[in-house]
A and B are shown apart, each in its own frame.
Chain A
Amino acid sequence: MRVGIIGIGHGVFGRRSDATVQELAFEAFRAAIQDAGLQPGDVDASVIGAVPEYHKQRSLAGVVQEYLGLLPRPTWLTEAACASGSAAIRSGWLAIRAGVHDVVAVIGCQKMTELDTSEILALMGRVGEVQWESGFGTTFPAYYAMLARRHMHEFGTTKDQLAAVAVKNHHYGARNPYALFRKEITVEKARQSDPVATPFHVYDCCANADGAACVILASEERARELSASPVWLSGMGCATASMSVLRRASLVGLPSAVTAASEAYDMAGVDAADIKVAEVHDCFTIAEILAYEDLGFCPRGEGGPFVAEGRTYIGGDLPVNVDGGLKAKGHPIGATGVSMTYEIVKQLRGAAEDRQVPGADVGLTHNVGGIGQYCFVQILTRD
C-alpha cells in the first residue's frame, strides 16, 4: 500500500526568540492542515521529530499534541539525531502501512537557541562516542573535517570545491523566504571566514536554528479522496552505521547513506539517473559532496568537480538543495528532514516558483543523523 503526502507546511527558520517550540510546531501544522484542506479532527495521530536534549521542556510530543488541539489522539516522539525528522516520517509511514492509522501529521520541530553558549559548548563535546573519542575534545565539525581531509587526500578535492557547495546553497537560500541566511556569498568570502576545524571555515558549517515543518501523510485510499495531487513516498530506505568513526571501514563516504539509497531506489523501482531534484544533508560542505557520491549522482571521488562545475544548480544535471540546504536555511535538527520532504513535494507539485526545477517528477531526500550513524533516504513521485 502506498502512502501519500497531502499537505505541507513550513515555518521561518532562524533565531526564533518570539516563540516556544510548540508555537513553532503550530505554525507548520496550521499551514499543512490548510494546505491539505483538512480540519485538525481529520488527523488520526501525530509523530513528532525532535532531539530532546535541546529543550527545557521534557517529553515534547505530548506538549505539542496538546497545543495543536489533537488530544486525545496518539502521538509519539522519534529521535535519530539530525535525522529525527525523517525518522518521524518513516514512523508515520509505518503506522499507515500497518493499517493502524489513515491520516498522520508528522511534525519536525526544534528550538536550539533555548540553550546558552556554555550549554551548547558542553553538548558540542559529546557528539561523538563519549567513551573513546569525546575525551580528546572532538566536535561535530571536527569529525566532518576529518572526512573532508581524507577525501581531499584520496581524490584531490579542494577547498574551493568545498566552498562551491556553500556558494550554491546561499544562492538558493537568498530566494527562500523561510531561510535563515538570505544572502549570496562568494568563494572568496567563504575561504576568508574564521577557521573552525581545518580545512573548515565558518562558511563550511551550517548554523543551529529554531524552526518547524510539517507534512500530512495519508493511506493511498484516503490520499486519493482528500487530494487532487498527492505526492507518493515511493521508496523508503534507512540504515545505520557505527557511532564511532574508529569502526568505519572507509572514511570517504557514509556507509549508511549507500545502503539507505540502494534500499530506497529498489523500493521505488528507479535509479539515480531518474532523480530530477534532490535535497541532501549538507550539515558541512563536504557532506553534500559525499552525498552526491553515496547516492550515485556521480562516481566516487568526483563530487568536488560535480558541484564546482555547476552541475547541481537548476539547469544542471541534477539540481540539489535549491531551497538553500541546511547551509543557508539553518538546521533546526528535528525539523530538517521534514523540511527536505516539504521542498520536494513543492517541487513535484510544480509550485516552487522562481526555484522550480523544470520537469521535476521524481525527487529524493537524504537526511543524515550524527556523523552518518543514521541515514534516511526517500524517493518521492507523483502520478
Chain B
Amino acid sequence: MFKWFGLVNFVPYTKVDGFAEHLRDGRIMGSRCRGCGAVTFPPRSDCSACLDGNFEFIEYSGRSTLQTYTRIEAAPTGFENHAPYIVGVVDLEEGGRALAWFGDTVREEDIEIDMDLQLVPRMSEEEEAIRVYYSLERPGTQWVKTLGSA
C-alpha cells in the first residue's frame, strides 16, 4: 500500500510497497540484497551491484545525524497550507539517508547541522485515508500509533 506514503503521494505502486505497512506498524525499514548483502535506504528491490532482484526488509533504528536542512517558504501544490515547513536530510546510522520534515520535538532555533536526531514513524488516519511518513525528532522520541484521535 505504497499509496499511503507521503503527505502527498505520486507513486502508488512499487516492488517495495511493504515499506508503508511496516511504517504503519511503527518500523522504519531499509532493504538488504539477498544476493550480495548490500544494505540500502531508501529500500530498493533490485541490486545495482550484483543485479539480484531478491531483497529483504531490515529494521532501522532511526538514529541519525543532520546533514542539511531548509525552511521552505514557497510551497508547491498540495503543501500550500503547510508552508513554511522545514525539511532536513539525515545520515542514518545503518547507512543511507532520509529526507523528512522536522517534527514538534525540535525547535527551529535549536536546529544545527551534524546534530543527532531520531527518524520517527508517523501515521494519521483521516476519513479512512491512511497517511504514513516519518519525521525528524529529538533523540529518544518514541513512535506513537496515531496522531490525533486513534
Total of A-B residue pairs, C-beta within 8 Å: 113
Task: Judge whether B68 and A150 touch: CB under 8 Å.
Answer: yes
Interface majority SS on B: helix, strand, loop or mixed? loop
Collect the chain B residues with CB atoms within 8 Å of residue A133's CB: 99
| B69 close to A146 (CB less than 8 A) | yes
The residue on B at minimum CB distance from A124 is: B76
In the complex, the answer to whether B6 meets A139 with C-beta atoms within 8 Å is no
Given contacts A132-B99, A246-B42, A246-B99, contact A125 B78 (CB under 8 A): yes
- Which of A126, A153, A194, A247 contacts B68, CB < 8 Å? A153
Chain B residues with a Cβ closer than 8 Å to the other chain, count: 38
Check A150–B10 contact: CB distance below 8 A: no
Q: Is B98 touching A139 in the complex (CB atoms < 8 A)?
A: no
Q: In chain A between 207 and 254, which residues have their CB closer than 8 angstroms to a CB of chain B?
A: 244-247, 251
A184-197: CB near B (< 8 Å → 1, else 0) gives 00000000001111
Q: Which chain A positions have C-beta within 8 A of B41?
A: 246
CA distance A125 to B68 in the complex (A): 19
Within 8 A of A (CB), among B68-94: 68-80, 82-83, 85, 87, 89
* Nearest chain A residue, comparing its CB with the CB of B114: A153
CA distance A301 to B89 in the complex (A): 21
Chain A residue nearest to B6 in the complex (CB): A135
Given contacts A125-B78, A135-B133, A136-B6, contact A246 B70 (CB under 8 A): no
Inside 8 A of A19's CB, which chain B residues have their CB? none
Q: Is A59 an interface residue (CB 8 A)?
A: no
Contacts of B73 in A (CB 8 A): 194-198
Q: Mark A248-292, 1 if CB is under 8 A from B, else 0.
A: 000100000000000000000000000000000000000000000
CB distance A138 to B87 under 8 Å? Answer: yes
A131, B14: Cβ atoms under 8 Å? yes
B60 in contact (CB, < 8 A): no
Contact check, B10 vs A136: say whether CB atoms are below 8 A apart: no
A139 pairs with B72, CB closer than 8 A: yes
* In-complex Cβ contact of A137 among B68, B78, B113, B114 (8 A): B78
Q: Are B76 and A136 in contact (CB under 8 A)?
A: no
Q: Does chain A have a CB within 8 A of B147?
A: no
Closest B residue by C-beta to A201: B73
Q: Evaluate contact between B75 and A137: CB separation under 8 angstroms.
A: yes
B121 to chain A, nearest CB (A): 14
Complex: A149 Cα to B99 Cα, angstroms: 15
Complex CA gap A199/B86 in Å reads: 12
Minimal beta-carbon separation of B130 from chain A (angstroms): 14
A94 at the interface (CB under 8 A from B): no
**Closest residue of A by beta carbon distance from B98:** A246
Given known contacts A147-B68, A149-B68, A246-B89, is B10 in contact with A137 (CB within 8 Å)?
no
Partner of A142 from the list B8, B42, B70, B82 (CB cut-off 8 Å) is: B70
B74 adjacent to A134 (CB under 8 Å): no
**List of A residues within 8 angstroms of B113 by Cβ:** 149-150, 153
> Is A121 in contact with chain B by the CB < 8 A criterion?
yes
Q: Which residues of B contact A198 (CB under 8 A)?
A: 70-71, 73
A133 closest partner in B (C-beta): B99
Which residues of chain A in 1-47 are interfacial with respect to chain B, using CB atoms and an 8 Å cutoff?
A: none
B96 part of interface (Cβ distance < 8 Å): yes
Q: Which chain B positions have C-beta within 8 A of A142?
A: 70, 72, 87
Q: Does A122 count as interface, using CB distance less than 8 angstroms?
A: yes
B7 is an interface residue with CB less than 8 A from chain A:
yes
Which of B76, B83, B89, B114 makes the CB contact (< 8 A) with A245? B89
Q: Is B34 an interface residue (CB 8 A)?
A: no
B100 is an interface residue with CB less than 8 A from chain A? yes
Rounded to whole angstroms, the CA-CA distance of A139 and B78 in the bound complex is: 12
Contact digits for B1-45, partner A, Cβ 8 Å, 1 yes 0 no: 000011111110010000000000000000000000000011000
Q: A125-B79, A141-B74, A245-B89 are in contact. Are A135 and B10 (CB under 8 A)?
A: yes
Flag A102-137 by CB within 8 Å of B: 1 or 0 each: 000000000000000010011011100011111111
Contact residues in B for A131 (Cβ distance below 8 Å)? 10-11, 14, 42
- Report yes or no: B76 in contact with A125, Cβ–Cβ below 8 A: yes
Identity of the chain A residue whose Cβ is nearest the Cβ of B40 in the assembled complex:
A247
- B78 surroundings in chain A (CB, below 8 A): 125, 137
How many angstroms from the CA of A124 to the CA of B73 in the assembled complex?
13
Q: Which residues of B contact A245 (CB under 8 A)?
A: 89, 97, 99
* 18 cross-chain CB contacts under 8 A: A121-B80, A126-B10, A132-B99, A134-B6, A134-B8, A135-B133, A136-B101, A137-B76, A137-B85, A145-B70, A146-B68, A147-B68, A149-B113, A153-B114, A197-B70, A245-B97, A245-B99, A247-B97
Residues of A within 8 A of B (CB): 118, 121-122, 124-126, 130-139, 141-142, 145-147, 149-150, 153, 194-200, 244-247, 251
Q: Apart from A135-B9, A137-B78, A199-B70, what are 4 other A-B pairs with CB-CB below 8 Å?
A: A118-B77, A130-B10, A135-B133, A137-B75
